[in-house]
Chains A and B, each alone.
Chain A
Amino acid sequence: MRFSGLIFANLFRKKIRLLLTIGSFAVALFLFAFLAVVRNAFNRGADVAGADRLVVIDRVSIINLIPLKYRDQILQIPGVKCITHNNWFGGVYQDEKNFFPQFVIDPENQRQVVPELKVPDEQWAVFLKDREGAIAGARTAERFHWKIGDRIPIKTTLYGGGSWEFNLDGIYHGERPENDETQFWFQWDYFEERIPQAVKGQIGWYVLRVNNPDDSVRVAKAIDEKFANSPNETKTETESAFAAGWVKQFGNIQFLIMTIGTVVFFTLLLVTGNTMAISVRERTSELAVLKAIGFSGRLVLFFVLAESLVIAIVGGFFGLGLALLAVPALANALNGMLPQLVLEPSILILGLVAALLVGIASGILPGLGAMRMRVVNALRRV
């Protein structure tokens, strides 16, 4: 471009200021990406929920168990494609701090109902034959440096208590980066064998898939009606409604994060805008000379805007790049408390757009001022 030399010369006139302004942009974009990641992590369950999946729990209380024999009755309801069941194990690996969810699964149907969590076929075959077998999510396996074949003891006080030992037969990976890779699965048969008589044949919840997602409301109603007035009434919801219910219970955390984000962005806009304004003000006489020798007002506006845009884009790239590096580190620091901390491309794009907008907004006022100034007055000023 014809004037790029001039623009760059102007940019590098005050190197420290340039660095600091780019730095504050980078910081703000980093923070933007960070807040977006955290917000999404809180909402994750609802995002990854299968549209065609329903969750069946006990109507009275989520911690109550429901009979396994409901399974066949649910399968008879037209529109139900396949069903699996889970129990919450609530055990502790070595120390209470090492939290990860452990689920008792129904190995025959788990993969049909939750196909997005992938286990290699040969590992799955070993798992099916191994009564004490277990499958761990990739994140959890990595966190504790587990290898396939390891013996993993998990202590529990529920279900008769004691230390249960499992053979790690496989590791599952999510189809998408935002899938939960922290779960730990083991076999229903082994579980039922060890638990006390009173809780045998009782499962925590069912997950099922329907043939047609549009049909899920009818199927959910049919299930609940079937078990109305039975000893264990059920509550059936779509998986996304179930997940959204948990998110709502987090309370106003989302609102807080959005508020902080807004405060930060507002602050950033001020800081950058102010720096741009100072650097234009300092150069009033120079810009006047440019106009005096024939550069149009618009061109002067373009110079100022181009400068602020370059700063915004470079700063934006730095900030988002740093966020790409930092998010995995933060996920580790939180010890599995917010499992799916992932920086998605959509956040990066949104961040760059935001950077451009702030760049334009902060350049436009001083730029317009420079465009409109009267050459004579500006030149007269010392």
Chain B
Amino acid sequence: MAIPLIYNVRSVKARWTSAIVAVIGIAGTVGVFVAMLSLARGFRATLVASGSPGNALVMRAGSTSEMMGGITLDSIKIIQDAPGIARDASGPLVTQEVVGVMPFPLISTGTDANVQVRGVSSNVLHIRNFVKIAQGRMFNPGLSELVVGKNASTTYAGLTLGNTVKFGGGQWKVVGVFDAGGSAFDSEVWCDEANLNEVLKRPANIFQSATVHLVSPDSYNQFKDAVTSDPRLNVDVTREIDYYAKQSTRMTTLITVLGGVVAFIMAIGAVFAGLNTMYSAVAERGREIATMRALGFGAAAVVVSFLVEALLISFVGGAVGCVAVLPLNGLTTATINWQTFSSLAFAFKITPELLVKGIIFALVMGVVGGLLPAVRAASLPVASALREL
């Protein structure tokens, strides 16, 4: 026969101080666990969102990052004629790009941070079609005009609409702010590629990468085969989405390993706290348990009952931990992306799946912390426990 659940609820109530301590211990652990994972997820999601499945990135063969590329205008012209590329009124949907890293002062600290400045073709909005101009307008080709990502605009001093900033010896007017849907481009500043090449004192007509919009995601192989087998070209082709997903691995590993270690150590601490609470509960309730056994509840029922109590406490702890970190969802923070040496803004991303993981983590701690004390409770000798004062 099972011991009624209400017994556990009441006994938790009766010993609420120790129960609260255990709840806080578990809540803290689950909170750290979920927060760390959501940070890693957010970082990854930001980069993954930057790539579209329908786009392909062309870089010089062997390059692992856009920063390392080098493609001549002649090669771009050959690529433009390759099969599988979508076209519109302006011609083939190819943007040849130059990337630079420029220091801009952070609004928060006043110190310089590196911002990725991307020189793009004027048809870029047709290729990265999820990017929308939110304020102002697109830059005019050939003019020293900038459009800035919405995170860059709020993170760095001077990058607001209508403002003029100086870099690379020139004056640049901010004519628009764009919204790139939470992707890495939101941390970037875009301008005309030819102007940027001039500022960076790089040879004209050499680009670091080209991004093409495909007729459909299925045309990827057709395009890739045509471009990589062309003897006039020495380039690699990657799906844009794979390129950005790969960029995120280093930082994601760092956050996951650090966060994992912290959560694991905290879990041990929380289990210790849980064990202590449950052992004390068992010790204080020796007579109670013996009475129940004398009434005819079996040893198994006592074990189950104590486990249920531990699970109850850990569930509440897990839930409190999840709720406590929930406000972090969507909070934007910035860190450095080592692949580009520049700053990248990203948001904590707490998904329902992460919350479920957090609760499961809490319940596991509950079982580990509750099992031994439960067994101890069931194995108390009835007669002597009843006799005890």
A residues with a Cβ closer than 8 A to B are 14, 16-17, 20-21, 23-24, 27-28, 30-31, 34-35, 38, 60-64, 90, 92, 96, 99, 155, 157-158, 161, 198, 231-233, 235, 244-246, 248-253, 256, 260, 263-264, 266-268, 270-271, 274-275, 277-278, 330, 333-335, 337-338, 382
In the bound complex, CA of A60 to CA of B167 (Å): 7
8 Å CB contact of A161 from B62, B200, B201, B335:
B62
Partner of B60, one of A20, A35, A38, A157: A157
Answer whether residue B343 sits at the interface, using C-beta atoms and an 8 A cutoff.
yes
Q: Contact between A263 and B269 (Cβ–Cβ < 8 Å)?
A: no
**Within 8 Å CB of B276, what residues of A?**
17, 20-21, 24, 271, 274-275
Cα of A360 to Cα of B41 in the assembled complex, Å: 41
Q: Is B359 an interface residue (CB 8 A)?
A: no
Q: Which of B32, B67, B272 contacts A263 (CB 8 A)?
A: B32
Does residue B102 face the partner (Cβ distance < 8 Å to A)? Answer: yes
B265-A31 in contact (CB<8A): yes
Q: Which of B21, B35, B201 contacts A270 (CB 8 A)?
A: B21
Q: Is the CB of A157 within 8 A of B62?
A: yes
Residues on B with C-beta less than 8 A from A17 are 276, 279-280
Q: Distance (Å) between the CB of A36 and the closest chain B CB?
A: 12
Closest to B345 in A: A251
- Complex interface residues of chain B between 14 and 65 (CB less than 8 A to chain A): 17-18, 21, 24-25, 28, 31-32, 35, 39, 60-64
The 4 A-B residue pairs with the shortest CB-CB distance, nearest first, are A27-B269, A251-B335, A271-B273, A24-B272
| CB–CB A62/B114 < 8 A | yes
Q: How far is the CB of A32 from chain B (nearest CB, A)?
A: 10
Q: With A and B bound together, what is the CA distance between A86 and B302 in angstroms?
A: 71
- B64 touching A96 by the CB < 8 A rule? yes
7 of the cross-chain contacts (CB-CB < 8 Å) are A161-B60, A231-B201, A251-B333, A252-B333, A260-B262, A278-B18, A337-B250
Residues of chain A within 8 A of B283, CB atoms compared: 14
Chain A residues lying within 8 Å of B168, measured Cβ to Cβ, are 60-61
Interface readout for B273-310 with A: 1 if CB under 8 Å, 0 if not?
10111011001000000000000000000000000000
Pair A251/B334 contact, Cβ less than 8 Å: yes
Q: Are B113 and A245 in contact (CB under 8 A)?
A: yes
Residue B135 is within 8 A (CB to CB) of chain A in the complex: no
Q: Complex: how many Å from CA A200 to CA B169?
A: 24
Q: Is the CB of A264 within 8 A of B266?
A: yes
Q: How many residues belonging to B are interface residues under a CB distance threshold of 8 Å? A: 62
The answer to whether B269 and A267 touch across the interface, beta carbons within 8 angstroms, is yes
How far apart are A77's CB and chain B's nearest CB, in angstroms? Answer: 23
In whole angstroms, what is the CA distance A62 to B115 when docked?
Answer: 11
C-alpha gap A222/B302 in the complex (Å): 81
**Chain B: minimal CB distance from A381 (Å):** 12
Partner of A260, one of B32, B62, B268: B32
Q: Measured between alpha carbons, how far is A232 from B168 in the docked complex, in Å?
A: 10
Contact among B17, B100, B261, B265 with A27 in the assembled complex (CB-CB below 8 Å): B265
In the bound complex, CA of A229 to CA of B257 (Å): 47
Inside 8 A of A253's CB, which chain B residues have their CB? 335
A249 nearest in chain B by CB position: B336
Beta-carbon nearest neighbor of A19 in chain B: B272
CB–CB A382/B114 < 8 A: no
Contacts of A264 in B (CB 8 A): 28, 32, 266, 269
B335, A30: Cβ atoms under 8 Å? no
Shortest Cβ distance from B234 into A: residue: A161
Asked if B379 lies at the interface with its beta carbon under 8 angstroms from chain A, I say no
Residues of chain A with a CB closer than 8 A to B60's CB: 157, 161
Tell me whether B7 is interfacial, beta carbon within 8 Å. Answer: no
Chain A CB within 8 A of B90 CB: no
- Complex CA gap A21/B276 in Å reads 8
Measured CA separation A270–B18 after assembly (Å): 9
In the complex the two chains form, what is the Cα distance from A16 to B369 in whole Å?
13
CA distance A23 to B266 in the complex (A): 12
Give per-residue flags for B247-263: 1 if the beta carbon is below 8 A from chain A beta carbons, else 0: 00010011001100110
Task: Say yes or no: A35 contacts B25, CB within 8 Å.
Answer: no
In the complex with contacts A60-B168, A62-B114, A334-B257, A271-B25 CB distance below 8 A: yes
- CA A24 – CA B389 in complex, angstroms? 31
**Nearest-CB residue, chain A, relative to B22:** A271
- Whole-angstrom distance between the alpha carbons of A90 and B277 in the complex? 54
- Distance to closest chain B CB from A65 (angstroms): 9
Out of B24, B32, B63, B335, which one reaches A157, CB within 8 Å?
B63
Pair A31/B266 contact, Cβ less than 8 Å = yes
The CA-CA distance from A222 to B300 in the complex, in Å, is: 83
Could you say which residues of chain B place their CB within 8 Å of the CB of A260?
32, 262
Bound-state CA distance A232–B199 (Å) is 11
- A253 to B35 CA separation, bound complex (whole angstroms): 12
- Which residue in B64, B250, B258 is a CB contact (below 8 Å) of A38? B258
| B125 within 8 Å of A (CB atoms) | no
What residues of B have a CB within 8 angstroms of the CB of A60 in the complex?
A: 102, 167-169, 199-201
Distance A159 CA – B261 CA, assembled complex (angstroms):
40
- A274, B21: Cβ atoms under 8 Å? yes
Does the CB pair A198–B203 fall under 8 Å?
yes
User: Given the complex, which residues of B lie within 8 Å of A249, measured CB to CB?
Assistant: 113-114, 334-336, 343
Known contacts being A253-B335, A264-B266, is A274 close to B200, with CB within 8 Å? no
Shortest Cβ distance from residue A259 to the other chain B in the assembled complex, whole angstroms: 9
| B229 close to A (CB within 8 Å) | no
Assuming A64-B200, A334-B254, A338-B254, is B68 touching A157 (CB within 8 A)?
A: yes
**Do residues B114 and A23 form an inter-chain contact, with CB atoms below 8 A?**
no
CA distance A249 to B111 in the complex (A): 9
Q: Is B382 in contact with chain A by the CB < 8 A criterion?
A: no
Determine the distance from Cα of A23 to Cα of B275 in the docked complex, in whole angstroms: 11
Which B-chain residue is minimally distant from A99 (CB atoms)?
A: B250
CB distance from B349 to the nearest CB of A (A): 15
With A27-B272, A275-B276 in contact, do A267 and B28 touch (Cβ < 8 Å)?
Answer: yes
Question: Which A residues are in CB contact (< 8 Å) with B336?
Answer: 246, 249-251
Which B residues are in CB contact (< 8 Å) with A23? 268, 272
Extra inter-chain contacts (12) besides given A61-B102, A157-B62, CB under 8 Å: A34-B265, A62-B101, A62-B103, A64-B200, A99-B250, A233-B169, A245-B112, A248-B109, A248-B111, A264-B28, A268-B269, A333-B257
Are A27 and B268 in contact, with the CB atoms below 8 A?
yes
Whether a CB of chain A sits under 8 angstroms from the CB of B130 is: no
Instruction: Report Cα–Cα, A240/B102, bound state, in Å.
Output: 20
Which of B199, B258, B280, B336 has its CB near the most chain A CB atoms (within 10 A)?
Answer: B258
How far is A38 from B61 in the complex, measured between Cα atoms in Å? 37
**B21 touching A271, Cβ below 8 Å:** yes
Selected from B68, B109, B200, B269, the residue in CB contact (under 8 A) with A24 is: B269
A248:B106 contact, CB within 8 angstroms: yes
CA distance A256 to B38 in the complex (A): 13
Q: A231 contacts which chain B residues (CB < 8 A)? A: 201
Chain A residue numbers with a CB within 8 Å of B24 are 267, 270
Q: A62 and B341: CB pair below 8 A?
A: yes
